Homo-oligomer: A and B are copies of this chain.
Amino acid sequence: MKKHDIKPFDLWKETMHVMGRLGLLLCTSDKDGKPNAMNVAWLTGGLIWGRPIITVLIQTDRHTFNNIEKTHQFTINVLPMEFTDELLHLGTASGANEDKFAKSRLTPVPAQSVTAPLIAEAVVHYECRVVHKNDVIAENLTPDIRLFGTNHRVYFGEIVAASASPNAAKRLA
A25-65 residues with Cβ-Cβ distance < 8 A to B are 41-51, 53-55, 57
What is the CA–CA distance of A55 and B140 in the complex, to the nearest angstrom?
Answer: 14
Whether the pair A44, B42 counts as a contact (CB closer than 8 A) is no
Q: How far, in whole Å, are A54 and B16 apart by their CA atoms in the complex? A: 13
Q: For A11, give the chain B residue with the smallest CB separation.
A: B13
**Stretch of A87-95, A109-117, A130-138 that contacts chain B:** A130-138
Q: Annotate A101-143 by CB proximity to B: 1 below 8 A, 0 otherwise.
A: 0000000000000000000000000000001111111001110
Pair B134/A141 contact, Cβ less than 8 Å: no
State the CA gap A141–B48 with chains docked (Å). Answer: 12
Q: Evaluate whether A49 and B44 lie within 8 angstroms (CB atoms) in the complex, with A12-B12, A16-B9, A136-B134 already known.
A: no
Query: A47 to chain B: which residues have CB within 8 Å?
Result: 16, 19-20, 41-44
Q: Which residue of B has the minimal Cβ distance to A16?
A: B9
Q: A134-B140, A136-B134, A137-B134 are in contact. Are A44 and B45 (CB under 8 A)?
A: yes
Q: Using CB atoms and an 8 Å cutoff, list the residues of chain A in contact with chain B.
A: 8-13, 16-17, 19-20, 41-51, 53-55, 57, 131-137, 140-142, 144-145, 148, 154
